[in-house]
Structure 1
Amino acid sequence: MRLRAALLATSLLAAAPFAAKATTITGPYVGIGGGYDLTQTQHMRDAEDKPGPQGDGGAHVRHGHGWTGFANVGWGFGNGLRAEVEGAYTWSAIKSVDTVKTKGHDRSYGGFVNVLYDIDLKRLFNIDVPVTPFVGVGAGYLWENASISGGGGKIAGTNGSFAYQGIVGAAYDIPGVSGLQMTTEYRMVGQVEDFAMGNIHAVGGDAARFDHRFNHQFIVGVRYAFNNAPPPPPPAPAVVPPAPTAARTYLVFFDWDGAALTGRSREIVAEAAQASTHVQTTRIEVNGYTDNTSAHPGPRGEKYNLGLSMRRADSVKAELIRDGVPANAIDIHGYGEAHPLVPTGPDTREPQNRRVEIILH
């Protein structure tokens, strides 16, 4: 029951939602953690106990609740792999030796060298979840210290041996603090105790030798990666200036040698005036033109046409003002025979060249 409850608690922690996705560590980091320890039942023998079918097999040492803690320092290689050195401590109550109720504990302390791998779910499987699982293994050395009393006797002492561990866990970024992560882990720690050795003794008696020791640990921790700077913000989208609005042009045509507006001409001027109020207009340009004929032929003809083109522009300007366009928004020009709309030979009456252009800028 205790093992199932601890596994459930660790699973719930791993499933809890977090706001940001954990990141792969690059560079140095440190970590601490602690949690629940469940030590499996051990076998204990003294010098008179014989292993095997002919022996009594020794006594069963049953453990109660315990706790564990660790601190580590490591290095992330940026590709998911990490290596770390760790100091660990575990304490566990001892409830009984066979049927004899006891008081006491055993504890272990020492160090490991661990190699771990962070699983980037987004990169490897395109799974975008706020968690980075990791797995690892470690090897090291632990000293086991036992202190057991009950049934009129006492066992105490310390023995050291090779130890190993397997690690399964997950890491979550802590929002707002770059490099700081929360971790949840399950660890299975094994410690080799050889029956041929040991320095744990019954008081006044022979050595009490313990067999292989297994610890199941459920841990919550934090770690800090020093070089885990937040990713740079995405580049701001390029601001593309809006394309300039094309100028709108209206054409007003005139009779030969005339500057008066016709009915159709007034309609076109009214359209231009109305358009200037519906689009963003900064300037209205009114340009007058003539064809290359003149009521005053000879040298005076070109000068006369220049004046005629200005009178035509003035007529259009006056009509625009009557249609509600401010006078200071209108610029007028007279170009005479220059810039014909339709190229012609000399002295040609061309109706399309007798015009005023209204240009909305």
Structure 2
Amino acid sequence: MRLRTALLATTLMAAAPAAASATTITGPYVNVAGGYNLVQNQHAHLNGANAAGAPPGGTSSQLRHNTGFTGFGAFGWGFGNGLRAEVEGVYNYSNIDHRPGTSVPGHTRGSDQSYGGFVNVLYDIDLKQFGIDAPVTPFVGVGAGYLWQHYNPIDTHYANGSHTRIGGTNGGFAYQGIVGAAYDTGIPGFQVTTEYRMIGQPGSFMDGAFHYSGSKGTGGNVNFDHRFNHQFILGLRYAFDTAPPPPPPAPVVAAPAPLPARSYLVFFDWDKSVLTARARQIVAEAAQASTHVQTTRIEVNGYTDNSAAHPGPRGEKYNLGLSLRRADSVKAELIRDGVPASAIDVHGYGEAHPLVPTGPNTREPQNRRVEIILH
């Protein structure tokens, strides 16, 4: 159950999203990590025992491990093609809380630890080759090295009052398999890693290297079988050479088609508000443009020059009315061209705001106009 739970936790961490682009390491990097260390039950054979729990000729039992932890630091080199090589130092610790299989029931308490180093070869899997652009880089690896195994005093007190104590230190060959993923943090070169590791250490390297002692002066050697550690690890990694690749060339984008104009001028004959053929053509263009650009309101502003059919103050008032009649003519034409009347605002400004400045009482064709503005 503990193994299944830890495997599920590592799987969930490996599936978690992150925000950045996956990194392929080129050059040196360092890595520190720690996590949960789960050791499988280990078989022990006690030779030469003759006390309770260890009859003459020896006895076999198991050491059941409980909680534990692991920690390591590594220095490595990435070759830029996914391959990495590293050396690491390792420390493992595990509590031991039971020793089933003895001939007399008893209570066991103790711990063990291992320390040493590995040389690892790993391969980063570039997800882009599978069409996945994600800020995570899965990796796999194998390692070989040397671990010293030390059993802190493991005491077993039996129901008949006897006890045994197992201890000793010995080193031997060890190997490991690694599956993990690295997550970019957005900080250049800095990644968070999650890993599952299985460490194995053959029992033949530990035969007779450990000892036990018991009540009434008994004692002897202890042989252990193959040892397996299952580890679930969270770490931090920093790569020193992480210059980002050059950005891809910018795509060539065709120039957008010019947008229709938003302002149109319609000109009138002197003292007239009737649209000429050319004026109707311009109004039609404005009506058509209002359907091709985002238009919420059409402003129609009428103007006159400063000449008048009726001179004096009466002429200014006359021109104001003339400018409004010109604007109304344009509005009517826009409506005939399909523009909703509710979208059109009409204004008459008379002689104000001339397009071409002139002297008084001057007939200027460009000032006799209506301006259509699309908003």
Query: Whole-Å Cα distance in 2 between the matches of residues 121 and 57 of structure 1?
Result: 53
* Correspondence for 1:202 among 200, 208, 212: 212
Change in CA separation of 1:268 and 1:180 when aligned onto 2, cut-off 3 Å: same
Deviation at 1:179, TM superposition (A): 1.2
**Structure 1 residue aligned with 2:176:** 165
Q: TM-score, normalised by structure 2?
A: 0.62
Give the Å deviation of 1:86.
0.7
Q: CA deviation at 1:271?
A: 7.9
Q: Indicate the residue corresponding to 1:34 in structure 2.
A: 34
CA contact (8 A) 1:87 1:111 kept: yes
Distance in 2 (CA, whole Å) between partners of 1:108 and 1:195 is 14
- Say if 2:93 is the partner of 1:82: no
Per-residue CA distance 1:323-358 (angstroms, 9 max, x = gap): 479xxxxxxxxxxxxxxxxxxxxxxxxxxxxxxxxx
AA in 1 matched with 2:227: R
After superposition, the Cα gap between the structure-2 partners of 1:179 and 1:101, relative to the gap in structure 1 and judged at 3 Å, is same
Q: Which residue of structure 2 aligns with residue 320 of structure 1? A: 366
Instruction: Report what 1:70 is aligned to.
Output: 72
Secondary structure of the residue aligned to 1:60 is strand
Which amino acid in structure 2 is aligned with residue 142 of structure 1?
Answer: L
1:214 aligns with 2:220: no
Q: Does structure 2 conserve the Cα–Cα contact (< 8 Å) formed by 1:270 and 1:320?
A: no
**TM-aligned CA deviation for residue 102 of structure 1:** 1.2
- Say which of 106, 109, 119 aligns to 1:113: 119
Partner Cα distance (2:209, 2:256) in 1: 85
> Partner residue of 1:256?
none
Could you report, residue by residue, the CA deviation over 1:54-105 in whole angstroms, capped at 9, with x for unpaired residues? Answer: x876221211111111110101111111101011111011122235321111
Instruction: State the identity as a percent.
Output: 60
Instruction: Give the SS at the match of 1:68.
Output: strand
Is this contact kept in 2: 1:21–1:172, CA < 8 A?
no
Paired position in structure 1 for 2:44: 44
Contact 2:46 2:58 (8 Å CA) reproduced: no
Q: Give the match for residue 358 of structure 1.
A: none
Deviation, structure 1 residue 239: 8.6
Cα deviation, residue 214, structure 1: 0.5
1:198-246 CA-partner distances (Å, limit 9, x unpaired):
432224732222221111111111111111134455666679888999x
2:13 aligned counterpart, secondary structure: helix
Q: How far off its partner does 1:320 sit? A: 2.9
Contact 1:195-1:209 within 8 A present in 2 as well:
no
Whole-angstrom CA distance in 2 between matches of 1:215 and 1:121: 29
Residue identity opposite 1:145 in structure 2: H
Deviation at 1:158, TM superposition (A): 0.4
* 1:72 and 1:87 in contact (8 A); partners too: yes
Is 1:9 the counterpart of 2:23? The answer is: no
Larger radius of gyration: 1
Change in CA separation of 1:238 and 1:145 when aligned onto 2, cut-off 3 Å: same
Equivalent residue, structure 1, for 2:146: 141
Counterpart CA distance in 2 for 1:322 and 1:196 is 109
- CA distance change for structure 1 residues 7 and 274 in 2, over 3 Å: closer, same or farther? closer
> What's the CA shift for 1:21?
3.7
Number of residues paired by the alignment? 269
CA distance in 2 between partners of 1:319 and 1:65 (Å): 97
SS of corresponding position for 1:207:
strand
- Name the CA distance, whole Å, in 2 between partners of 1:131 and 1:195: 39
Question: 1:180 corresponds to which letter in structure 2?
Answer: F
Change (3 A) 1:221 1:233: same
Counterpart of 1:110 in structure 2: which amino acid?
G
Q: What is the distance in 2 between the residues matched to 1:230 and 1:101?
A: 59
Out of 179, 182, 186, the residue aligned to residue 192 of structure 2 is 182
Query: What residue in structure 1 maps to residue 19 of structure 2?
Result: 19
2 CA distance for matches of 1:227 and 1:242?
42
Matched ranges for 1:275-294 at <5 A = none
Root mean square deviation of aligned Cα? 3.8
> Match of 2:144, as an amino acid?
A
Q: 1:268 to 1:71 in 2, by over 3 A?
A: same
- Aligned counterpart, 1:294: none
Whether the aligned pair in 1 keeps the contact of 2:203 and 2:226 (CA below 8 Å) is yes
Deviation string 1:83-138 (CA, Å, 9 cap, x unpaired) is: 01011111011122235321111111000000001111112x11234422110000
AA matched with 1:32: V
Residue 221 of structure 2: SS of its match in structure 1? coil
Q: Secondary structure at the match of 1:6?
A: helix
- Tell me if structure 1 keeps the 8 A contact 2:173–2:205: no
8 Å CA contact retained: 2:88, 2:117: yes
**Runs (5+) with no aligned partner, structure 2:** 50-56, 158-162, 260-269, 290-362
Asked whether the equivalents of residues 27 and 76 of structure 1 are also in contact (C-alpha less than 8 Å), the reply is yes
Contact kept in structure 2, 1:161 and 1:193, CA below 8 Å: no
In structure 1, stretches of 5+ residues that fail to align are 50-54, 246-260, 280-316, 326-361
Structure 1 residue 33: Cα displacement: 0.9
